[in-house]
């Protein structure tokens, strides 16, 4: 796959159903060749034309992407196929068609892949009857890892003090951290985290986010899915958006937004002459709709760049002062909502 998957061109649009056609974005370059934004040059995890279905239900359709060192976020609504993709990467699910390669090997065929790959599943995957230490020690023994690593892993997720307690008595956040400890104890080069922040309190979330970022900075491939989108923004340098089993977008969330030029974006404009400015703006081709609320105007535009040029000129012409101009929906959450709706 690797080099053969390099495709010339920037911001490729995928020939998939129209409502998911934006495979945009921040193309990366390798030896002068521009890569598909869904692919990375130094891939450790490569997914090619992956399709997975459960009976009549299609979970993933011809999905191609790759992941390399650093933190990558996996986004999508419930049922989008994120978990299926993660499980397929880990080898838990066989592809119905297409391939998955982890460090060049098939994770379902080559057991050695699992020596340095860890998955933190979303579901309750830890037996209640074990203590936290017993569980982490079990995973360590399966991977041939020494006992010292068990304490280190428990320390990392701040569970050392309750390590002798049964997991069944833990809160959801603590159980999540037990799973993370079980994943970290093998010193993974590739770490797959399915909604790892579920149930964690704000302090734990911040701590886990810091941990995952550090793991990414250490050169590990960290793939994180989450429905808490602002946390993914804090976590991931790169985002893969999956909607209805298809790749909807890839790149940084800013890059995704920039290339989605044909869908309306909303801006808040505060000005000294809101009614006059609104009346002038509504005449512009770049403006789709205008709403006035006191001193603020909400402007919808599908050509944000044109608006950026026209707005100051119009304000100057009217003698109106622009007090504030800012996008209203420049978050990953709004982007995600829009990708789902398209």
Partner 1 sequence: MTAIVEYTLRACLPLRRLIGLGLLMVAALLFGLVGRAVEDSPAGAFATVANSGLFGLVLPLAGLVVGDAVLGAEVRKGTFHFTWLSPVARWRITVGRWIAGTGVIAVTIAPAFLVAGLIAGTRQGGWAAAAGGALGGSAYVAVLMAVGATFRRAAAVSLALVFLGERLLGTVLSGVAQWSPQWEGAAVFTAWSDGVSSRDGIPTGAGAVIRLVLITALGLALTTWRLRKLKLAGPGD
Instruction: By CB under 8 A, tell whether 94 contacts partner 1.
Output: yes
Q: What's the Cα-to-Cα distance from 2 to each of 100, 189, 225, rounded to whole Å?
A: 12, 18, 24
Q: What is the largest CA-CA distance in the chain?
A: 74
Task: Please report, as residue ranges, which positions from 133 to 152 form the binding site for partner 1 (by CB under 8 A).
Answer: 134-135, 138-139, 141-144
Which of 9, 104, 127, 327 touches partner 1 by CB under 8 A?
Answer: 127
Which of 10, 92, 288, 292 touches partner 1 by CB under 8 A?
Answer: 92
C-alpha dihedral over 197, 203, 208, 214, to 10 degrees?
150
Q: Which is nearer to partner 1, 221 or 301 (CB)?
A: 221
Contact indicator for 179, 120 with CB cutoff of 8 Å: yes
Rg (CA), the chain: 23
Which of 37, 91, 216, 274 touches partner 1 by CB under 8 A?
Answer: 91
Q: Which is nearer to partner 1, 115 or 273 (CB)?
A: 115
Q: What's the Cα-to-Cα distance from 257 to each of 53, 66, 342, rounded to whole Å?
A: 30, 21, 14
The stretch near partner 1 (CB under 8 A) out of 127-135, 262-270, 278-286, 319-327 is 127-135
Please give the Cα distance from 12 to 145 (Å, whole number). 44
Q: How far is the CB of 147 from partner 1 (least distance, A)?
A: 12
Q: How far is the CB of 242 from partner 1 (least distance, A)?
A: 15
In the shown chain, the binding pattern of residues 21 to 60 toward partner 1, with x for contact by CB under 8 A and - for none, equals ---------------------------------x----x-
Helix (H) or strand (E) holding 179: helix 172-184
Please give the Cα distance from 109 to 94 (Å, whole number). 10
The stretch near partner 1 (CB under 8 A) out of 60-68, 84-92, 294-302, 329-337 is 84-92
Sheet with 97-102: strands ordered across? 57-67, 45-54, 97-102
Q: To which residue do tokens 């622009």 refer?
A: 322
Q: Which is nearer to partner 1, 53 or 330 (CB)?
A: 53
Binding site for partner 1 (CB under 8 A): 54, 59, 83-84, 87, 90-94, 108, 111-115, 117-119, 121-130, 134-135, 138-139, 141-144, 182
């Amino acid at each position: 796959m690797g080099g053969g998957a390099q495709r010339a061109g920037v911001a490729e649009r995928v020939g998939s159903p129209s409502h998911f056609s934006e495979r945009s974005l921040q193309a990366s370059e390798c030896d002068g060749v521009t890569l598909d934004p869904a692919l990375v040059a130094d891939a450790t995890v490569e997914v090619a034309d992956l399709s997975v279905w459960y009976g009549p239900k299609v979970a993933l359709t011809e999905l191609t992407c790759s992941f390399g060192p650093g933190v990558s976020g996996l986004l999508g609504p419930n049922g989008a196929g994120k978990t299926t993709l993660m499980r397929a990467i880990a080898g838990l699910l066989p592809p119905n068609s297409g391939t998955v390669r982890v460090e060049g090997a098939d994770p379902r065929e080559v057991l050695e892949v699992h020596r340095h790959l860890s998955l933190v599943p979303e579901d309750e995957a830890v037996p209640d009857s074990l203590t936290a230490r017993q569980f982490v020690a079990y995973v360590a023994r399966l991977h041939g890892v020494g006992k010292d690593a068990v304490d280190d892993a428990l320390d990392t997720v701040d569970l050392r003090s309750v390590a002798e307690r049964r997991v069944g008595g833990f809160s959801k956040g603590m159980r999540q951290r037990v799973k993370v400890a079980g994943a970290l104890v093998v010193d993974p080069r590739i770490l797959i985290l399915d909604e790892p922040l579920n149930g964690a309190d704000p302090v734990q979330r911040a701590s886990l986010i810091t941990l995952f970022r550090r793991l990414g900075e250490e050169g590990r491939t960290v793939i994180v899915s989450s429905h808490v989108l602002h946390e993914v923004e804090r976590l991931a340098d790169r985002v893969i958006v999956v909607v209805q089993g298809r790749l909807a977008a890839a790149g940084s969330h800013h890059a995704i937004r920039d290339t989605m030029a044909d869908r309306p974006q909303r801006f808040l404009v505060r000005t000294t002459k809101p009614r006059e400015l609104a009346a002038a703006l509504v005449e512009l081709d770049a403006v789709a709709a205008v709403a006035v609320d006191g001193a603020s105007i909400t402007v919808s535009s599908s050509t944000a760049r044109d608006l950026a040029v026209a707005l100051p000129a119009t304000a100057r012409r009217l003698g109106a002062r622009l007090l504030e101009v800012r996008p209203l929906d420049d978050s990953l959450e709004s982007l995600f909502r829009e990708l789902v709706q398209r």
